[in-house]
């Protein structure tokens, strides 16, 4: 009996480990920022570089930080969702224009619509480093106390928005 | 053909000089340069995952190299720089993550598996030896076997 049970047991453990391990997406790094304060920044706005927006200004409200760039192809994929979300006025969306040229960014917003309450610029990617950005687009959900609650690497999809982000927003607002 | 070869050889000889030129652009003294090399080879690029920050051409790797140079010039220690990276990109950026509760399995796992394997091997060898001992015959039994074998030999047509 042992002869069959033991290999069968080892096999079952192996299957379980591989099942979980191969199901993980190796491109998705667990962010060390979750449940930690969002790194502070104060950056010039895209619309008017003489004015700035800081993380301090966003305290007291639940908000989304969306890292995007005009050169980023998959940003176009998620963009209509943000336009839709901004129309519903669920939460303010702050755009972080990552390593981009101002005129390109403005033209891009002109073409695809502007869902952002404010867009701030990060030409040299310094804010990006603080947030651990490695693949644009990235989206962060930040709560009233300025704590990062969720991070999406890569484009936000309708499913992610419906199943993760929106329920979390409800919870954080409630 | 020959001229082309000479040209290629010349170009090939120039390569180390070129990379030196790139390095000197960073404006680090030799000791700092060694540290830069050590750090960037120790840290993994979050974008192209099986390359170090030293090797990778990804935009984020270039930014991180620049950041490391800045911090080395500022006089930050290697530990401080690694900590800075881990705080932003997680344990993932280290090829050799610090030993703690979450990484324990990663560090000890292979040794545990090896010990289990060795245990199974020893167990099996012992079992086989016992079986072999049990299967051995004493002199009387041997004689009987010989007799039986001879008998069957004789019985053959």
**Mean pLDDT rounded to a whole number for chain B:** 84
Whether the CB-CB separation of A39 and A127 falls below 8 Å is answered with yes
Whether the CB-CB separation of A82 and A51 falls below 8 Å is answered with no
User: Is A99 strand, coil or helix?
Assistant: coil
Best B43, B45, B48, B60 residue to mutate vs chain A (most A CBs within 10 Å): B60
In B, minimum Cα distance to A130 occurs at B88
Whether the CB-CB separation of A97 and A120 falls below 8 Å is answered with yes
Contacts of B64 in chain A (CB under 8 A): 129
DSSP string, A8-74: HHHHHHHHHHHHHHHHS-TT-PPPTTTTSBPPP-EEEBSS-TTSEEEGGGGTTS-EEEEEE-TT-HH
Whether the CB-CB separation of A137 and A154 falls below 8 Å is answered with yes
DSSP string, B44-87: BPSSSTTSBTTT--SHHHHHHHHHHHHHHHHT--HHHHHHHHHH
In B, minimum Cα distance to A99 occurs at B59
Q: Could you give the CA distance from residue A156 to residue A164 in angstroms, rounded to a whole number?
A: 10
Whether the CB-CB separation of A140 and A31 falls below 8 Å is answered with no
Element (H, E) at A150: strand A148-153
pLDDT digits (tens, 9 = 90+) for B80-111: 999 999 999 988 899 988 888 888 888 999 99
Give the confidence band of B118 by pLDDT, cuts at 50, 70, 90: very high
- What is the ipTM metric for this complex? 0.80
Q: Could you give the CA distance from residue A115 to residue A94 in angstroms, rounded to a whole number?
A: 9
Whether the CB-CB separation of A28 and A135 falls below 8 Å is answered with no
CB contact, 8 Å: B94 with chain A?
A: no
What domains are there in chain B, each with its CATH number?
2-93 (1.10.8.640), 104-155 (no CATH)
Contacts of B60 in chain A (CB under 8 A): 125, 128, 133-134
Contacts of B61 in chain A (CB under 8 A): none
In B, minimum Cα distance to A127 occurs at B88
Give the confidence band of B47 by pLDDT, cuts at 50, 70, 90: confident
In B, minimum Cα distance to A39 occurs at B88
pLDDT at B26 over 90: no
Contacts of B67 in chain A (CB under 8 A): 129
Q: Which of A33, A124, A134 is opposite residue B46, by nearest beta carbon?
A: A134
Give the confidence band of B21 by pLDDT, cuts at 50, 70, 90: very low
pLDDT at B2 over 80: no
Number of Cβ within 10 Å of residue B20's Cβ equals 10
Instruction: Quote the minimal CA–CA distance from A125 to chain B in Å.
Output: 7
Q: Do A124 and B63 touch (CB under 8 A)?
A: yes
User: Is A163 strand, coil or helix?
Assistant: helix
Q: Could you give the CA distance from residue A140 to residue A95 in angstroms, rounded to a whole number?
A: 10
Averaged pLDDT for residues A83-106: 95
Contacts of B49 in chain A (CB under 8 A): 26-27
What strands lie across the sheet with A138-142, from one edge to the other?
Answer: A118-122, A93-98, A63-68, A138-142, A148-153
Q: Which CATH number fits domain A33-173: 3.40.30.10, 3.40.50.300, 3.40.50.11540, 1.10.3720.10?
A: 3.40.30.10
């Amino acid at each position: 009996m042992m002869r069959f049970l033991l290999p069968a047991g080892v096999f079952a453990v192996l299957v379980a480990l591989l099942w979980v391990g191969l199901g993980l997406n190796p491109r998705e790094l667990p962010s060390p920022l979750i449940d930690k304060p969002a790194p502070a920044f104060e950056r010039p706005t895209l619309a008017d570089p003489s004015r700035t927006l800081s993380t301090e200004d966003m305290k007291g409200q639940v908000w989304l930080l969306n890292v995007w760039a005009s050169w980023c192809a998959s940003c176009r994929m998620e963009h209509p969702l943000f336009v839709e979300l901004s129309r519903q006025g669920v939460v303010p969306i702050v755009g972080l224009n990552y390593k981009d040229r101002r005129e390109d960014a403005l033209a891009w917003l002109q073409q695809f619509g502007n869902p952002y309450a404010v867009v701030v610029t990060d030409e040299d990617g310094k804010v990006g480093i603080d947030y651990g950005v490695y693949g644009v687009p990235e989206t962060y959900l930040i709560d009233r106390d300025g704590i990062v609650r969720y991070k999406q690497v890569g484009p936000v999809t309708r499913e992610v928005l419906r199943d993760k982000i929106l329920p979390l927003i409800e919870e954080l607002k409630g | 053909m020959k001229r082309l070869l000479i040209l290629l050889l010349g170009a090939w000889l120039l390569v180390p000089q070129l990379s030196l030129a790139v390095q000197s652009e960073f404006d680090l003294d030799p000791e700092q340069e060694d540290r830069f090399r050590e750090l960037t080879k120790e840290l993994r690029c979050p974008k192209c995952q099986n390359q170090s920050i030293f090797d990778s051409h990804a935009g984020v790797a270039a930014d991180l190299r620049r950041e490391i140079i800045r911090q080395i010039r500022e006089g930050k220690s290697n530990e401080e720089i690694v900590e800075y990276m881990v705080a932003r990109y997680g344990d993932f950026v280290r090829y050799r993550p610090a030993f703690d509760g979450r990484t324990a399995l990663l560090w000890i796992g292979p040794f545990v598996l090896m010990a289990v394997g060795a245990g199974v091997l020893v167990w099996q060898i012992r079992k086989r030896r016992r079986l072999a001992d049990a299967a051995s015959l004493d002199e009387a039994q041997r004689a009987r076997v010989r007799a039986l074998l001879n008998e069957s030999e004789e019985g053959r047509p």
